[in-house]
Each structure stands twice: as structure tokens, then as C-alpha cells.
């Protein structure tokens, strides 16, 4: 395909327009009614096209100018259609004189002028499409009713006399409104591309010239009437081209501009995330060395002091034991915090995981740690899923560890791991008949450091369930808890 230069394109366009205008002029000399039908039909189609393009591209527009013009153009197209049908010798409205199409002409041009003059107000704000459309339709309906239902619209043309004073004044008022539209539009050049602003300016200038031409004719088939219609045709075409550039071409420009902005925003967020990760690594290093080292030293000295128990009284020995227990708890909290912080950075290594085997292994370890305890253990066979084996083991260890811990004071403890189907998808669960919890606290239970039981009654740091939730969410699943005080708890999760 040969690509034309801008100069060649402009020359080609000019030749097309000269050909079209010349052809229409020749048609007007042979059959004015046919000329009028061609021009008005084209103008109606163009106005309807402006509406369709502006309406269907409204979600891409960053201001409401073209949508407002498009909605107004729909009403203009409707009135122009009636003007076309009411024209002299068309015979659609029996008994109607040339006054009716002239009144409809003024009505259509008034709606158009008001629309174009008000449209610049929406360069900095969005248009509420449905309410605006309804408002235009209602206003247009009332305007038509003043012509067809209540004969209160002023006469605009009298046979033998020509145009009335009302019609001439209306044309000047309409020209003034179009001039206002031109000034307001050119005051905001940054709201349009250079080409769109040029076409809008040409359109408004040509429409002003058209209205002035319509103040001069004496006969609806007269020469100045024909010039006015041709200028109207050119003005509509310029508006249509401006809407096409903005409604069809510019959305892609806007879309890619938004994508570029999104990419830049994403890059900035990635940079912030990398900075946060570096800070987290620095924090982890600080916690590991600067906090653990003093705790280790304190624990060592406390151990030495406890070895001197024969030299201490019972009160002092009790203090040492409580201090050692505090150091142990603090060390455990730090370890849990480090594990929790590292969860988000650890990449998932997904593969098939035998959850039943993991559960049995974890429960055997728990039983070995407290050989004197006896509990009923039920593990469903063949329970599998796809996920990170290491992380899923951490999650199960926390859930089963909690079940083991909270059934400690139950005469006949029971712990169960299994799977059930919900909505055709597997839901895994850990159930026990231990201490349970208040159902109203079910949401709090997964928050870090939230404990529903006193630490003296059941040990723990409050990080375990928060860790489980983080692991399950990283697998794309969710976890929830059901329970009742003194009757046990069930933790269900998907992955």
C-alpha cells in the first residue's frame, strides 16, 4: 500500500470536497427538493454517527466534552429528520406551510448551538451519561411539543413575506452562541490534540457562516438557502471527523498511555518493594544477632546462677527460674517472628504432597515429646494436594500442635485430620475436642499475637495461626475456624 504524504492527503481531500459541493450545486439547480433531501439525509446520518461514536467510546474519554456533544447531536438529528420530512412539497405533513420546516430548523440549530456552547464546561469534568441523555430527550420533547402540540413557537416564515423578525433574530442569537462555543473551546487548547482543535474551530466557524446565510433568503428554494445547507454539511463533517479522531483513534492512545503509566507505577512499586525487602533483611539480621546475642548471654548467666542453687534461698531460686523462662519465651517469640517475616519471601515449590503422611509424622513427633499422654488419633488415608511440602508441613504442624496442646486437659482427647467435599472442591480440616473458643472470636484468632487463652494456662506466642493463614493464602486458599468453649475446635482450609 502506497502511503500518501500529508500534502497529498490534503489535496486529495480538497478535490473530493470540491467534487461533492459542485455535484450538490448542480443537483440543486435541477431539483432543489432532491438537493435538500441529500444534504439533510447526510447531516442526519452524521449527527447520529457522532452520537454513536461518542456514546460507545465514553469509557475511554478523560473529559465529557465529546459525550455531551454526542448526546446533543442525537437530539439535533431527530429534529432535523422532522425538518426534512416537513420541507415544502414533501407532503408528509398535509396542510403544513413553509413555516413548519423553518420552525424545526430554528429548533434544531438552537439545540445544537446550546450544546456546543455548553460542551466546553465539561472539559474538566465527566458527564453522567444516562441523566444527561434523559435531560436532552425531555428538553427536546418539550421543544417539539411547543410546535406540534401547543402552537406557541413563534412563526419563522410567512408565505409572500419571507423570514420573520423572530427567525432572523434567532439566527443571530444562534451565531452568537456558536461564537461563544468557539472562544471557549479555543481557551482550553490543552484539552485537545492540535488536529482535533483545528477541526472543531473550522466546524464552528463554518456553522456560524451557515447561520448568517440563513438570515438572507426570501424563498426556501433560494440561493442563500442552498449555500447555508452546504455550509451546514461541511460544518457537520468537521465535527464528525473530530469525534472520529477522539472517539476511535485516541482511545488507543489513551489506553497505551494508561498502560505506560501503569507500567511506570508498577516499576516504582517494585522499587519500593525491593527497598522494603532490603529493610526487612536488615531487620532480620538485627533481630538475629543484636537481640538473640544478648538473650543468649543472659540465659547463660542465669544458668550459671542456677548451678549455684545451694547458695541461694528458695525465693531467689524461684526468681531465677522465672527469669530463665522469660528468656526462653522471648527467644521463641523472636524465632517465630523471623519465620513469619520470611514466609512472604520464600518461593513456592509446588508439587504433589501426601498430607496424610505429613500429619501422621507430625503426630508421632508430638506423642514422642509427651509419651505419658494418650489420645485418640484419626488420620484419613490418601489425603493429598498440590503445594509446597515445606510450607504445608509448617501449617499442619501448627494446627496439629494446637490440637495437641488444647486437648491436654481433656480426659479423653481426640484429634482428627481429614478431608471433605464442599462445592465439588476438597476442604481439609483438623478437629479436636479440647478447650475450644468463643465463636465470636473466630476472626481474631488468626491475627498475630492474638491469644484467646491465658499464656499460663496454654503456652504459645500467638504467631502460629497467623503463620498458617499466610501459608494457606500464598497457596491461593483460605482458612477458617469453628469452635465452642469447652467443646473443641475445627480448623478448615483449602489450597
**Grid coordinates standing for 437?**
473458643
Distance CA 127, CA 54 (A): 12
CA distance 471 to 465: 10
pLDDT in tens, the chain (495 residues): 445 555 666 677 678 777 877 887 788 777 878 888 888 888 888 888 888 888 887 776 667 888 898 899 999 999 999 988 988 777 788 877 888 988 998 999 999 999 999 998 888 777 888 999 999 999 999 999 999 998 899 998 887 777 888 888 998 999 999 999 999 988 888 777 787 888 888 888 988 888 888 777 666 566 777 888 888 888 888 887 777 655 555 555 544 544 555 566 667 776 776 666 565 556 555 555 556 666 666 766 667 666 765 666 777 667 667 667 666 656 665 665 566 556 555 677 889 999 999 999 888 888 877 777 888 889 999 999 998 888 888 889 889 988 888 888 888 899 999 999 998 899 999 999 988 888 877 777 877 656 655 555 566 556 778 888 888 888 889 999 888 888 888 999 988
Domains of the chain and any CATH numbers: 31-265 (1.20.1070.10), 348-493 (3.30.565.10)
Q: Do residues 348 and 387 touch, judged by C-beta distance below 8 A?
A: yes
Burial class for 166, CB neighbours closer than 10 Å (0-12, 13-18, 19+): middle
Burial class (CB in 10 A: 0-12, 13-18, 19+), 164: middle
- Residues near 290 by Cβ (< 8 Å), separated by ≥ 6? none
DSSP, collapsed to helix, strand or coil, labels residue 460 as: coil
Using CA atoms, how far apart are residues 337 and 280, in angstroms rounded to an integer? 12
3 state SS of 235: helix
Please give the angle made by the CA atoms of 374, 368 and 418, to the nearest 5 degrees.
65
Amino acid at each position: 500500500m502506497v502511503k500518501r504524504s500529508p500534502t497529498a492527503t490534503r489535496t486529495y481531500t480538497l478535490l473530493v470536497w470540491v467534487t461533492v459541493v459542485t455535484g450538490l450545486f448542480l443537483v440543486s439547480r435541477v431539483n432543489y427538493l432532491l438537493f435538500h433531501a441529500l444534504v439533510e439525509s447526510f447531516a442526519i446520518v452524521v449527527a447520529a454517527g457522532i452520537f454513536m461514536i461518542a456514546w460507545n467510546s465514553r469509557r475511554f474519554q478523560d473529559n465529557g466534552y465529546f459525550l455531551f456533544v454526542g448526546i446533543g447531536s442525537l437530539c439535533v438529528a431527530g429534529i432535523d429528520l422532522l425538518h426534512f420530512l416537513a420541507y415544502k412539497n414533501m407532503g408528509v405533513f398535509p396542510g403544513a406551510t413553509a413555516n413548519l420546516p423553518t420552525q424545526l430548523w430554528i429548533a434544531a440549530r438552537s439545540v445544537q448551538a446550546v450544546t456546543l456552547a455548553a460542551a466546553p464546561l465539561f472539559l474538566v469534568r465527566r458527564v453522567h451519561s444516562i441523566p444527561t441523555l434523559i435531560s436532552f430527550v425531555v428538553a427536546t420533547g418539550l421543544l417539539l411539543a411547543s410546535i406540534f402540540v401547543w402552537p406557541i413557537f413563534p412563526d419563522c416564515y410567512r408565505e409572500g413575506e419571507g423570514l420573520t423578525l423572530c427567525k432572523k433574530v434567532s439566527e443571530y442569537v444562534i451565531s452568537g452562541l456558536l461564537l461563544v462555543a468557539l472562544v471557549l473551546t479555543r481557551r482550553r487548547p490543552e484539552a485537545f490534540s492540535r488536529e482535533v482543535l483545528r477541526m472543531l474551530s473550522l466546524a464552528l466557524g463554518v456553522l456560524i457562516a451557515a447561520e448568517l446565510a440563513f438570515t438572507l433568503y426570501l424563498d426556501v428554494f433560494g440561493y442563500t438557502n442552498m449555500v447555508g445547507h452546504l455550509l451546514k454539511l461541511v460544518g457537520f463533517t468537521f465535527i464528525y471527523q473530530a469525534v472520529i479522531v477522539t472517539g476511535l483513534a485516541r482511545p488507543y492512545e489513551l489506553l497505551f498511555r494508561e498502560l505506560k503509566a501503569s507500567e511506570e507505577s508498577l516499576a516504582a512499586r517494585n522499587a519500593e518493594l525491593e527497598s522494603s525487602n532490603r529493610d526487612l533483611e536488615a531487620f532480620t539480621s538485627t533481630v538475629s544477632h543484636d537481640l538473640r546475642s544478648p538473650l543468649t548471654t543472659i540465659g547463660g548467666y542465669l544458668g550459671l546462677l542456677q548451678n549455684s542453687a545451694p547458695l541461694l534461698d528458695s525465693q531467689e531460686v524461684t526468681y531465677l527460674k522465672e527469669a530463665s523462662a522469660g528468656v526462653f519465651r522471648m527467644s521463641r517469640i523472636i524465632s517465630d517472628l523471623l519465620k513469619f517475616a520470611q514466609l512472604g519471601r520464600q518461593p513456592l515449590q509446588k508439587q504433589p504432597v501426601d498430607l496424610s503422611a505429613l500429619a501422621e509424622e507430625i503426630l508421632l513427633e508430638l506423642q514422642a515429646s509427651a509419651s505419658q499422654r494418650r489420645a485418640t488419633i484419626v488420620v484419613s488415608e490418601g489425603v493429598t494436594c498440590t503445594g509446597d511440602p515445606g510450607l504445608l508441613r509448617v501449617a499442619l504442624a501448627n494446627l496439629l500442635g494446637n490440637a495437641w496442646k488444647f486437648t491436654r486437659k481433656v480426659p479423653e482427647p481426640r484429634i482428627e485430620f481429614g478431608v471433605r467435599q464442599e462445592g465439588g472442591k476438597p476442604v481439609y480440616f483438623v478437629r479436636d475436642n479440647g478447650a475450644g473458643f468463643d465463636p465470636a472470636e473466630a476472626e481474631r484468632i488468626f491475627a498475630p499475637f492474638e491469644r484467646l487463652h491465658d499464656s499460663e494456662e496454654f503456652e504459645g506466642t500467638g504467631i502460629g495461626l497467623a503463620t498458617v493463614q499466610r501459608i494457606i493464602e500464598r497457596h491461593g486458599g483460605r482458612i477458617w475456624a469453628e469452635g465452642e468453649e469447652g467443646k473443641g475446635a475445627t480448623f478448615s482450609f483449602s489450597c
